[in-house]
A and B are shown apart, each in its own frame.
Chain A
Amino acid sequence: MTFQQFAYHNVIRNARVYAAFLLASIFSVLVFFVYSMLMFHPSIEDQFLQNIAFGGMFIAQVILIIFTLFFLFYSMSAFLQARSQEFGVLLNLGMDKRQLNRMIFLETMILGFISITVGIFFGFSFSKFFFMVIREMFLLDSLPLYVSWKPFTLTIFVFLSLFVIISISSSVFIRKKNIIQLLKGFGKQNEEEVYSKGRAILGLFLLLVAYSLVIFSLFQLKVYMSFIIIALAIVGTYLFYTDSVLYLLGIIRKRKNLYWHSFRLIAFAEGSIKIRENARMFFIVTIVSTIAFLSVGVVTSFTSFTAQYREMNPISVFYSSNWDNPFEEEHVMKISQELQMEGLSYELIKFKVKKQTSSNLRDKVNLIKESEVNSLAVALKFPLIDLQEGEAMILPNTQEDFNGIRTEDEQTVLEESSIPIQIKGVYERVIFPSLAIKNRSLIISDEDYELVTEPLYGHGLRESHMTFYAFHVSEWLRTKDVGTNLDRIMTQSMGISTVNPNAFYFANPGLNYSIIRATFSLLLFTGLLVAAVLLLAAGSFVYFKLYTDLERDKKQYDVLRRMGVTDRELVKIVNRQLIPQFFLPWGLAMVHSTFSFMFLQAFWVDLAAVSIAMEMLLVLIAFTIIQVSYFFLIRWRYIAHIQ
């Protein structure tokens, strides 16, 4: 048996121990590879998409690498720790430390080699599927599979260096110990749980402050607040696991009336040991799960955003033209042509808007013809209106207008043409983009509309007119390539201000929506994949921990069984030990993400009037179900082992 064979057998014959670890690292390679495939994709020409693809993937990869490095390092040192007795024996038999390091290096590299090969293999197999998902998200025409050396080289290079770094740094851990220490193993459970009361209280305090700031933000939103809250929550979470939990358990353990009670004695004592041993892991799992909950929540809420976005922007392509717009015909022609080129059927409804001064408001109002509104309403399946002569309805400009506008009947006179009208209420939908209309808009009956003949005070007759072109396209999500030039002019000249210096206004909700949607979906998709890797890693760690502690636990349960603990009671004890390990990080992550959602909600309202409470609840429930089934799976294996 050569030295290489020895190392190889060490890995292969311990496959059961390494299984979960390998699974997690293979998955990590897989995801990384798939990201690289997208990053180097040759046929993404769209500049914007390219930026998103490259930037998004790059960030995701960096996060992935950092967490993978952390996970690998943590697992490897735990593996070596668990095998310390074996190393002690080898050193005792005369292996020198250089050989030991070489053995560890070889073993790690074998694991790395397996992970990288299998990961890339599956990564390449899944790329097509991944591209299909991306294509759907960005509504691209095609995103073919390609073969290039770049993604392969990047993945192999990154992970090979990762494994080399790990194998060198983790063997340092063994190098420092002498044989006798190794042979005795690391009696980790024999350490006193140390915690400082100050840090414990600080941890709880920081969490409390972070949560209060979230509540406070609901009333007064400050963007910089989010950074403070995140920082506080992270530090607070860390201290919570290293000190606060132990401190709280310590308080309970001092009260014998509470503590000296059937299974609590064992459960609390064992619980505090497990928490102390795994505090850092719990911390990572909490943060990771919070991010996972959040990203899923945000994207789930996107479905409700779609509906509301549509409600706010019912017209698929909108073009409005002032009297002094020289491009009117040219632009409208262009839009129609582009729609035809995309193979989209559309319906064009033209609104001739007249302007008058309202005696009530002492300001200009836009007058829109009832029949024109109705023809659009038919297309959009909106409620139709029926106005008598002398009646009018307010057309709200934004969603918020519904709250601001009085709904009682109101008398007013269109001063220039001296037409008295009675306002009969508010139309129940928003129709035109709010930026296109600056003043209040009234829908008036066709009869009254014809009577409006006088121009605005101090203006000519032509100047009192505006034209709106509403293109109704039933497949509104596919209009993203229509009017891109006009859209560019709008963004360049307006930026983020609400003042429109042009004589026309153009809005294509399909285009805006596709950008928002693509960005969000990508965020979710990459976030989900990273979260999946991390959750798998955390799961593999719990599995590994249980596996290495199994011998000790078995012995302990044997003692308990001899002392007369029934099988059912044993399950209860196991429950009380496993539940905190599974649900403490998860529970804190739940609380964290609930507050994060609340903060996001406060944020969101400004962005768009979307309520994400329902989606949030669904996400949290889904995660709960996953976590519970995971718990039962592990418990089942664990109990099978100890019995």
Chain B
Amino acid sequence: MSILKLKEITKVYEGKVAHLAINQLSFEVEKGEFLAVMGPSGSGKTTLLNLISTIDQPTSGDLTINDLNPLQLKSNDLSLFRRRQLGFVFQDFNLLPALTVEENMVLPLTLDDQPVSIMKQKVNKVAEQLGLSSILEKRPFEISGGQAQRTAIGRALIHEPSIILADEPTGNLDSKAAKDVLELLSKVNQKSNTTIIMVTHDPIAASFCDRVLFIKDGEYFNEIYKDDRRQTFFQRILNVLSLLGGNVNDLSTIRLS
């Protein structure tokens, strides 16, 4: 069953120079799938993620999340929809510096006015799952990047959303922390059957996913599915990236784990 359907999505940025960011892009995401979206800089990855996040509206085309068309919702309902259905992980974590790790994680629940007892129960469970139990009282500037990103994942997970949207979640992390975060994401994906859509530059990050979707200049380019071994999947991703062409500089430095 597909949880997310995009049909002929087009996004044009109006302005002095009109810019076609996404051009008639269609794809579907199955429930419980871990999808990576790859493409060179300026290929429209972030725009795509913003469209799925419902904070930006497509110029034309249809978007369905969980059998709901967010384009038909009023702005207020749309916010409530995001609050309950979506979870976000960002490249630079975007934790609120004033809050502790624990408070950052419960933030989505407090916005929804849940009882404190339930919040405590949930935050303990998630913290244990993410290995954050010992640093719950710390503030974001007192913890490492990996811990910060895990906190952000905890914040995205805690309200059990249908889709987690991750924008370059490993972009600011060293390779060890990046690997931890990716393993964590795939564990979450397998265990709780959470759908994850991740935009990334990093072929290693992409190799943790079930499927990699390549876009170029806002258009569908290719997609590949994972096989039994991550190593070969990684090689195949590299092959497609080199096919994507032109700018080798766009590819991030290759790290092999």
Contact = CB atoms under 8 A, between A and B. Distances in A.
Contacts, number: 84
B86 A269 contact: no
B53 interface: yes
Contacts of A264: 110
Contacts of A270: 96, 98
A568 B98 CA distance: 22
Nearest to B87: A563
A563 B108 contact: yes
Contacts of A257: 116
A263 B81 CA distance: 18
B68 interface: no
A21 B5 CA distance: 53
Contacts of A262: 110-111, 113
Given A262-B113, A269-B98, A566 B141 contact: no
B83 A265 contact: no
A563 B111 contact: yes
A566 B106 contact: no
A495 interface: no
Contact of A562 (B55, B75, B97): B55
Contact of B111 (A192, A564, A567, A568): A564
Given A273-B97, A563-B111, 14 more contacts: A192-B139, A260-B103, A260-B106, A261-B113, A262-B113, A264-B110, A266-B96, A269-B103, A559-B96, A564-B80, A564-B82, A564-B83, A564-B86, A564-B108
A189 B98 contact: yes
Interface string B58-101: 00000000000000000110011111101010100010111100
A639 interface: no
A619 B66 CA distance: 59
A438 interface: no
Given A192-B139, A266-B96, A272-B98, A563 B88 contact: yes
Given A269-B103, A564-B84, A568-B76, A260 B94 contact: no
Most buried by A among B96, B120, B139: B96
Q: Which 10 A-B pairs have the closest CB atoms?
A: A564-B83, A269-B98, A564-B82, A566-B79, A190-B141, A559-B94, A564-B79, A189-B97, A265-B110, A273-B98
Interface residues of A, number: 29
Interface in A227-272: 256-257, 260-266, 269-270, 272
Contacts of B99: 265-266, 269
A187 interface: yes
Contacts of A564: 79-84, 86, 108, 111
A84 B141 CA distance: 20
Nearest to A268: B98
A270 to B, nearest CB: 5
Contacts of A273: 97-98
15 contacts: A189-B97, A190-B139, A190-B140, A262-B110, A265-B107, A270-B96, A272-B98, A273-B98, A561-B79, A562-B55, A562-B88, A564-B82, A564-B83, A566-B79, A567-B79
